[in-house]
Structure 1
Amino acid sequence: MPPDTRLDSASYHENITPILAVLRDAFQDLEGHALEVGSGTGQHVVDFAREFPGITWWPTDIDPHHLKSIEAWRQYVSLPNLNAPVRLDASQTDWELGQSNRPPGDGFVVMVCINVVHISPWATTAGLLRNAGKYLLPGGLLYLYGPYSRDGRHTAPSNQRFDQYLRAQNPAWGVRDIASIETAGREQGLSLQSVIDMPVNNVSIILKRVPDGAGP
């Protein structure tokens, strides 16, 4: 890497190709605004902006080093549909979008969150789902990626070891169960659409914002 503030993530290189394969199918023909929650190094959102030129991308993160890296990557690629990163604490009850120097608050067609849910307290996931229910347009999609358990069972011994490692680092962290995501999402007007097995025992989860007044 050149001597600048761009960070390089090994997991990005491992997962970007299978993630794009899922998103090409899910996001085809979509136009509008997209919010990425927890953009990390900024490498994923650069590829998303390239792959989906009809979508305007808004990267966010809480870590100042990540925000610098996202902006450095943004300037490096200079894509017209990729906006400057904004600090966002996903655990907050209200993200206060639509205010000055913040992403728009009038609705997103897509929200994306990659490798965040397991390395953050449950309050972060609750805030993500709550605000997805608030800021996604009816029919809008929330895409989650990372390791998840199913019906209280880990999908592989490596995921169980990873879960134990995470909880040793911080008892509030850990691999979440898909059923917990589905239940919490339903309470916010989000309907589980698909669960897709990914390489290295990861999972893609897609939830859809249910139109107001409709059933899940």
Structure 2
Amino acid sequence: MKPVSFDDRLNFPATLRNREYILSVLSNYIPDNGLILEIASGSGEHGVFFQKSFPSIIWQTSDPELIHRKSIVSWIDHYGLSLKMPKPLDIDVEKRPWPITNKLRDLIKGIVCINMIHISPWSCTKALFEESKNYMQKNNFLILYGPFFIKGIKTSLSNLNFDQSLKMQNPLWGIRPLSRVNNIASENGFELDKIIEMPANNVSVIFRLK
């Protein structure tokens, strides 16, 4: 048997801090079967954690960065999930159509996107909704997690500072107003289902395809 190397595994500290909280939200939406597509899976630590937590479904990771996809594969191997979890897809939300086969499309029950919206150009948010609708059925969910500016809720100083630091790294990045995200979602046939406050001034936002 070919030895497995775990050298490609990346560790993102935020994953360990938020995964249990995100899990509690997902537990109310994960179906009994089918496939969940994760966009911008990063290191893959979330993916393997959720796959272990929801063994009845398939957790399909994806990421446009090769270093991240290698990390995801290593995490899958590390936990012995290679017979359950598919290899990550090379999905850049702006390169369309996404590499989703008809077989895969038939299995998708929901899409999850964690901490991508604020560290990507606004065009990526638009592409996420514009393309996601092509692979989903009525009432399927799209869940976003991260920081947002929400009308009527005072923005924390930490999020204001975080927004400034993001824009210093890349002027196209930044925390998005949830109202603007909701407008894009609505234009693409999604309706806002629920906003759930999370620790560290983040929220989970659940949309449903109408």
Q: Same fold per TM (> 0.5)?
A: yes
Tell whether the 8 Å contact from 1:107 to 1:135 is kept in structure 2 after alignment: no
Residue 38 of structure 1 aligns with which residue? 40
Matched, 1:179 2:179: yes
In the superposition, the TM-score normalised over structure 2's length comes to: 0.91
Please give the residue correspondences for 1:20-99 in structure 2 after superposition, counting only pairs within 5 Å: 20-27=23-30, 29-79=31-81, 80-98=83-101
> What amino acid is aligned across from residue 76 of structure 1 in structure 2?
H
> What amino acid is aligned across from residue 164 of structure 1 in structure 2?
Q
Instruction: Report deviation, 1:134.
Output: 1.2
RMSD: 1.8
Tell whether the 8 Å contact from 1:38 to 1:116 is kept in structure 2 after alignment: yes
Matched, 1:9 2:12: yes
Matched, 1:115 2:118: no
Residue 126 of structure 1 aligns with which residue? 126
Please give the residue correspondences for 1:97-108 in structure 2 after superposition, counting only pairs within 5 Å: 97-98=100-101, 104-106=104-106, 108=108
> What amino acid is aligned across from residue 42 of structure 1 in structure 2?
G
Separation in structure 2 between the aligned mates of residue 181 and residue 67 of structure 1, nearest angstrom = 27
Partner SS for 1:26: coil
Work out the percentage of aligned pairs sharing the same amino acid: 36
Separation in structure 2 between the aligned mates of residue 97 and residue 111 of structure 1, nearest angstrom = 13
Separation in structure 1 between the aligned mates of residue 33 and residue 13 of structure 2, nearest angstrom = 30
Matched length: 205
Partner SS for 2:59: strand
Alpha-carbon displacement from aligned partner over 1:101-160 (angstroms, at most 9, x marks no partner) = xx8233510111101110000111111111221111211111110111012876211101
Q: Which 4+ runs in 1 deviate beyond 4 A?
A: none
Residue 206 of structure 2 aligns with which residue? 206
Separation in structure 1 between the aligned mates of residue 147 and residue 162 of structure 2, nearest angstrom = 9
Please give the residue correspondences for 1:128-207 in structure 2 after superposition, counting only pairs within 5 Å: 128-151=128-151, 155-207=155-207
> What amino acid is aligned across from residue 65 of structure 2 in structure 1?
D
Residue 213 of structure 1 aligns with which residue? none
Alpha-carbon displacement from aligned partner over 1:162-209 (angstroms, at most 9, x marks no partner) = 111111111110001111111101111111100000000001001011
Q: Which has the higher strand share?
A: 1
Separation in structure 1 between the aligned mates of residue 133 and residue 152 of structure 2, nearest angstrom = 25
> What amino acid is aligned across from residue 147 of structure 1 in structure 2?
P
Separation in structure 1 between the aligned mates of residue 153 and residue 66 of structure 2, nearest angstrom = 35
Matched, 1:18 2:21: yes
Partner SS for 1:151: coil
> What amino acid is aligned across from residue 159 of structure 2 in structure 1?
N
Separation in structure 2 between the aligned mates of residue 124 and residue 137 of structure 1, nearest angstrom = 22
Tell whether the 8 Å contact from 2:9 to 2:72 is kept in structure 1 after alignment: yes
In the superposition, the TM-score normalised over structure 1's length comes to: 0.89
Instruction: Report deviation, 1:78.
Output: 2.1
